[in-house]
Chain A
Amino acid sequence: MTTAEQNLHPAVTTHPKFSWDTGVQWLVVIVTAVLVIFPAWPIVLQSFMSKPLYDKDRAFTFDNYSNLLANARFWDVLVYTAAFAVATTIIAVSIGIVLAVIINRTNIPLRNLYSNLVTIPYYVSPLVLAFAWMQMYGPQGFGTILVRMLKLPIWQLYSFGGIVIVSAMYYIPYTFLYASSSLALADPQLESAARIGGASPFRTILKITIPLLRPAITYSALLTLVSSFELLSIPLVLGNAVGIDTLATYLYTIGVVGVNKDQGAVAAVAVLVVILVTGLVYLQGKLVSLERRFVTVGGKATRPKAIDLGAWKGIVSFFVGLYVLLGIILPLGCIVLTSFVPFLSPFMNPLKMLTLENYQGIFGSPAYRQSVVNSINISIFAAAIGIVFMAVAALIAYRSTFKYRNAVKYMALYPRAFPGIIVGIGFLWAFLLVPGLGSLRNTIIAISVAFIMRYLPLGFSAVSPAVLQVSDELDRAGRVAGATWLGTIRYILLPILRPALVSGYILLAISFLKEYATALFLVAEGSRVIGTTMLELWKQGGAEPVAALSTIQMAITAVLIIGARKLLGVKLHE
């Protein structure tokens, strides 16, 4: 120690009153609070008002609620929605678990190919999936007409069963992905122990493998239940023609397309739905923490030997292949094909009428072209801003001594209880009520803010596990070495978290590209996105332009996923 160093330690006695660290922490907690409260307050307020919020004659009232609860139609819709959500969950979770076990644990041919193909609906907007099934299996669908020509028994896609099956198709990948990562992490010695104890391979699957998946089953079941409860697109596209309504389509009908829009009723429905979903989300948290006893993760991801299905493997592979072909490839292929022909029909060879007319129609119209450009811009820029914000929020929640760090966590996760359509209503009213903000509706700023709020939980949950995996001794070492909290984040945590941030970014970009429900109410002349334009075109009856937009959306998503994998080496899920 030289004497020159002695002066490095002044006898500091002042307490620093302001630092950039606490400044940034306060900023993030305030922005999060504003994001969550901003769309919520006009809805809550409106639900107790006799007239719209902008009307000076409005008065406090409980009528909105009493009228709603006395409305038989509302109760029908509620019961129907519950039946729909439960049926969808049961089908999606059972098929998802079976697929996960077959593909991850047995030696069927083509299982690597299948493991990629079955996840496709995860990346496709439910709106696109609904159109795809409509094109293939709807009353005028390609497949339906083909089967009718063969004089075989025919089905009705526009029905409770049809809506449930298409919705289940959309949610199966969620269960599949959770169950697969759970299977990859489970200790293979548990299965080996059962085999040594005398259990056959089949019995081992039934008695050990599947019961060990219980946390994944519980988690994906509740996730599917909550999501299908608020799902708008599939019930709307497939149920509209036959007058079927779920809570989401009911809100859409009375709020967007209704002749005399009753804002009080819309707000009351919205508040009740949020309360209901909050209950489900709370239940999800409770059940998942109760299931901790099943967690056997040791961190060792040694892949156990695949279970030999013997003579059955060909048959099992055939049925999995049939599922992938009929459920995913044919409908999506059908919609891609539709986008390249004037009209699709089994009576004419589509390959002889290939055309780019539909795409020219989209890109020839300034409004439609703008919706594509808007969607791409939102995906690229809003998702980038969003993921950085969500990462900093996660770092405050898990890596700071900030007083309100737990509040940041709860607020960031709370939007899970807000269905997209309600987020849209809330932001619309809030933007209209706050002077000066109304003009933002015409830009993509309003929609970007709403999307970021809606996907706070997704981004936060995508980054959090990675944050928790980094030993906190690494940031402590940074602090002791002389870095501030922000310095530690900048030089140590963000570089280490880079892969998680990139995959979180891609996930957010894809979600923003797919999102339509949040934009439905909020959308204005200059802020159309692909999803809202698709619904607009669908209402005008143009199947081919809708198919072209769907294809564009899928193509952009594919570019994002393949780019992430090839260029950045990022996988979007375990």
Chain B
Amino acid sequence: MNTGNSVNHHLFVRENKAVSFSDETLEKVRSLIRRYPEGRQKSALLPVLHIAQEELGGFLSVDTMDYVASLLNLNPIEVYEVATFYSMFYLDKMGKYVLEVCHTGPCAICGGEDVLQHIRDYLHIETGETTPDGMFTLKEVECLGACGNGPVMQVNTEFYEHMTARQVEKVIEDLRQKQGEEGTSKGWAEQFS
């Protein structure tokens, strides 16, 4: 990922603070590790990083990545190289809500580019930026696999489909109202039985 000349310097953020999962999450992590053969605990890295990002601050700081490495008995570099490869992992602090707008072909021909521009104008931020109140980060992402319902946007991995300029304003305002409340959708750890 992120080959070519995209502006992404992968500056890791180190917060110098101790991070750890709750006991409940730790138990979930242990059960995830047991899904893979003995000695193959590295396989649990992607699911555990999803949980870590969600539960430990909304992005992967060096502190978080080192903690995950210790849980899975990996060298930190093994976690860094994976965290930098996959586009769902954030290496920097994000807004409370990350608006990920699909800009790939099928969404683009159905008005996705207009929706994207409208969000920029409405929130006064460019792609990659966060609103000053820390509420919204705007990201452009590649195909989300919901092309029949385009234009599509994901907010913290929840799908919003058939977006129009008007719809997207409504989504943003609804999220603003929800401020402080917990989301209703299940978190990563709860997805696994």
Asked if A pairs with B, the answer is no
